[in-house]
Amino acid sequence: MAALKRHTAHDVDDQAEALTGWNQHYEQLACGRFRGELWHLEMQGGFLVREQTNRQLREQIAPPPDHVVLAMPLAVQPGSVYAGRALDRDTLMVLPGGREVDVVSAGELDLIGLAVHRDMLASTLAPSKREWLQQAENERNLGLSADAAQAIRQMLLAVCGEAEDRVAQGTPSTEARESELLAMALNQAVILAMGGDRSGPQGSTIPRRADSRLKVVQRAIEFMREHLEQDIGVGEICAAAFASRRSLQYCFEEFMHTTPQAYLRALRLNEARRALKLRADPASKPITELASMLGCSSASHFTRHYKAMFDELPSETLRQYQLIP
């Protein structure tokens, strides 16, 4: 029986954890109060999903193992990036189950998609379509024609609408009917994508130089994460990323739309927020220690940065999670 889940979040960790079976980690990169919406319909053989977020984020996403996810943006801000390449309204996002991919949203992002278990592929897709989908999984980011992208969006919206109406009306849904609906949606999405693929999987790989620049960013972020509580500067980050200061700056602006220094501060602020949410733990850090971890000269300096990023004071975060009266 189909199970429908709706979820509203005002915290990126809450949003990231809302999808059962997914391994996700979100970081808020731009100032302002976060809001996320999730619509998730679990069915026999897979699921339908729609997610909306309103802030610049970096999302590290690994769908459930043994699934393939196809997703399209309904709304996306210019400058967004998926799997190291531009994400726009004509992008087909292919997410292999159990393998992590990166999304950097430049602002509001509204995604709709479907996932099917791999066991369904053999009975649903002809060999030529399965071969195309396997190549698409390796590419992950495919540019479609505007007509093909719009047709896939409309089809997915229609399928989600039909499924939601059945749940709302209490119409009995058999396993066979759920599998049939998912199989139809998958088949139509692949047919439309194959016909609208602007370059074909062989021609859409990330250029070698761009891939090298993306790896600079990944090495730098990994180093930052490992040294959040240490006094590190751009020089140390450059050494860890094997890049000059100029190259590091350029790579972060290209893929993250911010500077390395601002990204490090955002990482630390997100980590400080997580620590505040766990403040009931006796081993958690007091605000003065959190301020020191961030490299702030005082608790008031930390509070200003925190308020600017999350549009709430640290004390308001504590109250929200019912840790102070």
Per-residue pLDDT tens over the stretch 273-283: 998 888 755 45
Per-residue pLDDT tens over the stretch 197-233: 775 544 444 455 778 888 999 999 999 999 998 889 9
Of 185, 203, 221, the residue that ends a domain is: 203
110 with 216, same domain: the answer is no
Rg (CA), the chain: 21
Q: Is residue 43 part of a domain?
A: yes
Check pLDDT > 80 for residue 80: yes
Q: pLDDT value at position 62?
A: 96
In this structure, what CATH number is given to the domain that contains residue 7?
A: 2.60.120.10
pLDDT band at 294 (very low <50, low <70, confident <90, very high): confident
Give the angle 4-6-7 at the CA atoms, nearest 5°. 150
13 with 151, same domain: the answer is yes
58 with 169, same domain: the answer is yes
Decide: 271 and 28 in contact? Cβ < 8 Å: no
pLDDT band at 253 (very low <50, low <70, confident <90, very high): very high
What is the number of structural domains in the chain? 2
77 with 213, same domain: the answer is no
Burial class, 239, CB count within 10 angstroms (exposed 0-12 / middle 13-18 / buried 19+) = exposed
Can you give the residue range of the structural domain that contains 279?
A: 208-320
Per-residue pLDDT tens over the stretch 88-134: 999 999 999 999 999 999 999 999 999 999 988 888 899 999 999 99
Q: Is residue 156 part of a domain?
A: yes
Of 182, 203, 224, the residue that ends a domain is: 203
* SS3 of the chain: CCEEEEEEECCHHHHHHCCCCCEEEEEECCCCCCCEEEEEEEECCEEEEEEEECCCEEEEEECCCCEEEEEEEEEECCCCEECCEECCCCEEEEEECCCCEEEEECCCEEEEEEEEEHHHHHHHCCHHHHHHHHHHHHHCEEEECHHHHHHHHHHHHHHHHHHHHHHHHCCCCCHHHHHHHHHHHHHHHHHHHHHHECCCHHHCCCCHHHHHHHHHHHHHHHHHHHCCCCCCCHHHHHHHHCCCHHHHHHHHHHHCCCCHHHHHHHHHHHHHHHHHHCCCCCCCCCHHHHHHHCCCCCHHHHHHHHHHHHCCCHHHHHHHCCCCC
What is the average pLDDT score of the chain? 88
pTM of the model: 0.88
Between 174 and 29, the more confident residue is 29
230 with 308, same domain: the answer is yes
